Amino acid sequence: MIPFLTRNLEKNASMKLYFFDLETTDFIKKDNFPDILQIGAVDMYSSENLQFNECLLPTKKINYYASQVNKYTTDLKRLYHKGERVNAHEMKEGLQMFIDWMNLNFDGPVVLVAHNCFNFDAKVLLTSLKKYGIEYRHVILGFSDSLVTCKTIFDPPWKLSAMLEKIGVDKKTTHDAHDDANDLRVVVTWINTQLGAGDDFSKFIMDDKWYRTLAEQELEMPVQELKIPKQELKMVKKELEMSELQSVMPVQELEMPEQELEMPEQQSEMPENSNYFFSKFFFVWFSVMYSVICYNIHTIYIPLILDIFGKVLNFGLIFGILYWHQTRK
């Protein structure tokens, strides 16, 4: 055992804490979550030195690039690691074993620590547990992300292998979940010791900058786990946005001015002057007469129309001459 890890052994022996890591079939792609291939977990160097290391049989094919890293392959009936078959539990069985292991070893909920915990390990674990209907709220208290811790304290790079090198541990990461959990315990314990918080490791792990409660992490669960249709979700989101907008808009922008709500009286009532009724009467009379003339144009109205047109023309000519003569005076 590395010397600096043993200093606070007795003081931290009763702390409810596990370092864990997952190997999976793929990365998280939007809301498409991978299956878990391996769960590795170790405690905080208690006297029992509790450890969990189990493989799970996936229901999805393993992404080529993920397989190149973790060396797992599968035909969905068997699981292989580096070409050799390994004992793998059915997904639900393996997940339940992990929950039971934590529950049996500690009386009460525990804190789980992982590297890139918030964005990957915690999301994948909770999504898988919920998918297979496994109760976990009585076991998990919250999550602590060592990657956030490293980003807060150190310059990049922050990968687990780089962090081991920074603290002087000559070891290459194997991308084995159990090995990575052990490596993570070494890194986090060293950071805690160097910061002078060794007497209260729980306070360091549960620092607000890199700790989330279970409820806070569950807010990061994918939309489909909420069982809300996407169309309804969009409508709810739109309504929320509208309500937020209305809550900050000035009252005068939300209410129409009174003068706009009521139509002015002079616009709402039709004018009743003589010009209006004369124009309406003339239009009706002209329409009727035009229809009658067109209908009977082949009968006796033709001579009558010509006679009337001639008289009107003569009358107009006389009126025009008189008007011109009057204006010349």
pLDDT tens for residues 290-319? Answer: 666 666 655 666 667 777 777 777 777 787
Better pLDDT: 231 or 121: 121
**CA separation for the pair 13, 17 (Å, rounded):** 9
The three-class DSSP label of residue 85 is: strand
**CA separation for the pair 88, 61 (Å, rounded):** 15
Mean pLDDT of 261-282: 48
Query: Helices (DSSP H) in the chain: which residue ranges?
Result: 9-12, 64-70, 91-105, 122-131, 146-153, 160-166, 177-194, 201-205, 214-218, 230-248, 251-254, 258-261, 265-268, 274-295, 301-328
**CA separation for the pair 27, 271 (Å, rounded):** 76
Mean pLDDT of 142-170: 93
Least confidently predicted of 4-13, 76-85, 90-99, 312-321: 4-13
Better pLDDT: 52 or 230: 52
Identify whether the C-beta of residue 105 lies closer than 8 Å to the C-beta of residue 46.
no
* Cis status of the peptide bond prior to 157, with omega within 30 of 0: yes
How much is the pLDDT for 226?
Answer: 43
Amino acid 33 reads F
Measured between alpha carbons, how far apart are the two ends of the chain, in Å? 131
Residue 214 has pLDDT above 70, yes or no: yes
Which of 1, 48, 33, 40 is CA-nearest to residue 18? 40
**CA separation for the pair 195, 197 (Å, rounded):** 6
How much is the pLDDT for 15?
Answer: 59
- β-pairing, 72-74 with 84-86? unpaired
Residue 277 has pLDDT above 80, yes or no: no
**CA separation for the pair 188, 115 (Å, rounded):** 10
How much is the pLDDT for 230?
Answer: 53
Mean of the per-residue pLDDT values for the chain? 78
